[in-house]
Structure 1
Amino acid sequence: MPNQTITSSATADDAATVHGTVAEGYENVREEFAAFVAGEEHDPAAQLAAYRNGRLVVDLWAGDVAGDSLSGVFSTTKGAAHLVVALLVQDGVLDLDREVAHYWPEFAAEGKGAITLRELISHRSGVIGADDGFTPEELADDRVVAERLAGQRPFWQPGAGHGYHALAIGALTGEVVRRATGRSIQEIFEERVRAPYGLDFFLGLPEAERSRYRDVLPMLPTPEQQAALSASPIGRYNRLPIAFNTSADPSFDLVGFANSPASLANGPASVGGSGNARGIAGMYAAVLGDFNGQGPLLKPDTVAEFARIHSHGTDLVLGGPSAFGLGFEALGVSYPALGADTFGHSGAAGSLAFGDPRSGLAYGYTRRRFAFPGGAAPENERLSRAVYDAAIAQ
């Protein structure tokens, strides 16, 4: 992979310079990334990485970040959490079709006794939050969240539909993991995934790595974008404030939470991961095949089961369409240019990471400034398409 520094405009402004490398055949990816940087009005701080069959083929960054800078990746963390669940299912420690209450008896309260692990991690349990919300300190501690949610009534009949368990799913599955193994998701991820594969993706950021962390920056919507957010029916959907904790008093600041010392230290499994594009892409490279001298984390049949669509249609939290496998987003639905069995997860500020079993492609993207309108940043569509087209042309 030749070293390259690519300037995306004729100015001397460092923010307009793309740094990094691409492999032969991936030059169009560099061009698409440079076009994004040149057109970004505020803080074009972003990273893009991709692996093909375990080989790094794209490694680009721009703006006020370096290639190894770390930042909050929000719900991209859910991919790491549910990789741990997949490993434990593969090991025979967890059974997808056993009731959650089999592992965690207290969860059976308020009519939740029949909810299976499969239903829980496909966002079908209805346990999306607490009636009176959580403090930021509570949300930073998965065990505290799980204790409160054990006694919470579901917000719809479990199994009757699906809705995004935005801030709850990691604590809920984390408690199942803890009851079954005596270990936390964070501990298992560190020992079985992050450390042996050398990933720059942490569920609990060590003090020694804090100097590399760059705070996530809040969204700066234009007046037109702000009006669109205010008018959106999704923004008014009645379950959304529960799921995103904005019904709490005082209202919850997601960006401030991601940057908080408690969230960084604990790495809550729904939204608290810290990483960079190399790290989040590397995790999916390690799932799909040999990586950094280690064998693949998951067997093909395990990948197929967790990537298979389990929930599809109108999301009872978001009010629009969504598609989930088991803990992962079914990204072949929202990104039809990718393989149909592509699985991964996006994050609120704009990050996205996925693996495509058919092409052997693993993709990771992060950005520092929160993108409009939230969730996977719009530029991911063009960037992922460019990466995928280059990969399948090889």
Structure 2
Amino acid sequence: MTREIKVQGTTSAGYEAVRDAFTALLAAEKPDHAAQLSAYVKGQRVVDLWVGPDTGPGTLFGVYSSTKGAAYLVVALLVQDGVLELDREVAHYWPEFAAEGKGEITLRELLSHRAGIVGADSGFTPEEVADDRAVAARLAGQRPYWRPGTAFGYHALAIGALAGEVVLRATGRTLGELYEERVRAPLGLDFYLGLPEELEPRFRSVLPMLPTPAEQAALDAQPPQPGTLNAIAFNRNGAHPTDLEAFPNSRLVRAKGPASAGGVGSARGLAGMYAAAVTGLDGREPLLKPDTVAEFGQIHSNGFDLVARAHKSFGVGFQNVAEAWYPFLGAGSIGHKGVGGSQAFADPRSGLAYGYTRRRFPFPGGSVPEDEPLVRAIHTAAIRTTAVTR
């Protein structure tokens, strides 16, 4: 049974079908469902929609691993500046990282999820998970879980801390500080690594997932496996396993903004960041040169992911969203999904930058039913309208 919902916001001429798709897809959701959808084409906003109680265009949600896009953008800027070199050993910047046979791991291998440092043997406390410096200090002495370079696996809660420590050692500034100074503040983006106290009233807590009785029974039938790579990567292996549903609801997490998954933002903020990076935003020059975008979007790890136990595809840090999910997007599209259902990316070939957020945690986490139809609807409209205006 569907329900009447009221989608608010605007779409540019040629994008009316996106509103229809957004409305139809969300009609079957729970009455308290809240979501935002935003898109830019060649730096101009063409879709700006939202739905749900207590939700507007400036409402802020926890975006989980969509946060990683901000971390990789900072690294890309530093590579572009010549401050970081992808083929330099991580230990060149961070000598302590060389412990336990990690001395030859390059920054490129690390960012491509090939280093094998997905977590710590004894897990992390909630305070450590929220603090990238604490995580990095623990991981410096951790032995890799596979021989670096021989395979890849998603460094879910570790990669932001690892990249951030390299950035700090090379620049003397934290990744969050550089993101704020070079990306967020100059562009006025509603996407934060470290949410200021005064913006807390705009944050909406993540709502728990609502599995069907059959889904819950299947979940209950699977006992925890704390020794697996997946459990280690998502910090479910120690005395203080991380509750992903509740993760962004912690003020400590929101305040510190760990770069793997602690970001808070809106769909406008996510899409705006990718537009600013790849095409330029509202007439500004893009933050990244085409060669930088191409290098970071080039596939580096593709195939069986040892952590996810599924097919995955990564460039330098960024997920290769065309290879992984949307083959109709242009080659070299860069972005990232979050386990809470958020998603953002840029397709350099069509000039599309996309952002999506939702409040309720999906079952079982990760991709949501809206993903493919919404991305396809916006991409189709972008191609058609661009062809008309040529």
Change (3 A) 1:156 1:68: same
Q: What SS does the aligned partner of 1:149 have?
A: helix
Q: Does 1:378 align with 2:351?
A: no
Shift in Å, 1:51: 0.3
In 2: Cα distance, 1:73 partner to 1:217 partner:
13
Q: What SS does the aligned partner of 2:379 have?
A: helix
Q: Does 1:49 align with 2:32?
A: no
Note the aligned Cα RMSD (angstroms): 1.7
Q: Does 1:196 align with 2:186?
A: yes
Q: What SS does the aligned partner of 2:7 have?
A: strand
1:269 to 259, 268, 273: 259
In 2: Cα distance, 1:382 partner to 1:70 partner:
24
- Is the 1:234–1:320 contact (alpha carbons within 8 Å) kept by the matching residues of 2? no
Q: Does 1:27 align with 2:16?
A: yes
Q: How does 1:197-346 map to 2 (within 5 A)?
A: 197-229=187-219, 238-333=228-323, 334-346=325-337
Partner of 1:355: 346
- Is the 2:42–2:275 contact (alpha carbons within 8 Å) kept by the matching residues of 1? yes
Shift in Å, 1:57: 0.5
Q: What SS does the aligned partner of 2:48 have?
A: strand
Q: 5+ residue gaps in structure 1?
A: 1-8
**How far does the alpha carbon of each residue in 1:14-59 deviate from its partner, in whole angstroms, 9 at most, with x for none?**
xx21100011111111011001221113532000000001111000
Shift in Å, 1:75: 0.2
**Identity, % of aligned pairs?**
63
- Is the 2:126–2:240 contact (alpha carbons within 8 Å) kept by the matching residues of 1? no
The residue identity in structure 1 corresponding to 2:380 is D
Name which of structure 1's ranges 175-184 and 258-267 shifts more when overlaid on structure 2. Answer: 258-267
Q: Does 1:389 align with 2:380?
A: yes
Shift in Å, 1:229: 4.5
Q: What SS does the aligned partner of 1:39 have?
A: coil
Q: How does 1:57-68 map to 2 (within 5 A)?
A: 57-64=46-53, 65-68=55-58
Q: What SS does the aligned partner of 2:268 have?
A: helix
Q: 5+ residue gaps in structure 2?
A: 386-390
In 2: Cα distance, 1:237 partner to 1:130 partner:
11
**How far does the alpha carbon of each residue in 1:326-382 deviate from its partner, in whole angstroms, 9 at most, with x for none?**
110000012112222211000010000000000000000000001122113221110
- How high is the TM-score relative to the length of structure 1? 0.94
Partner of 1:88: 78
- How high is the TM-score relative to the length of structure 2? 0.95
**How far does the alpha carbon of each residue in 1:282-327 deviate from its partner, in whole angstroms, 9 at most, with x for none?**
0000011221453210000000000111000000101111000011
The residue identity in structure 2 corresponding to 1:50 is A
In 1: Cα distance, 2:375 partner to 2:220 partner:
29
Name which of structure 1's ranges 244-253 and 208-217 shifts more when overlaid on structure 2. Answer: 244-253
Partner of 1:4: none
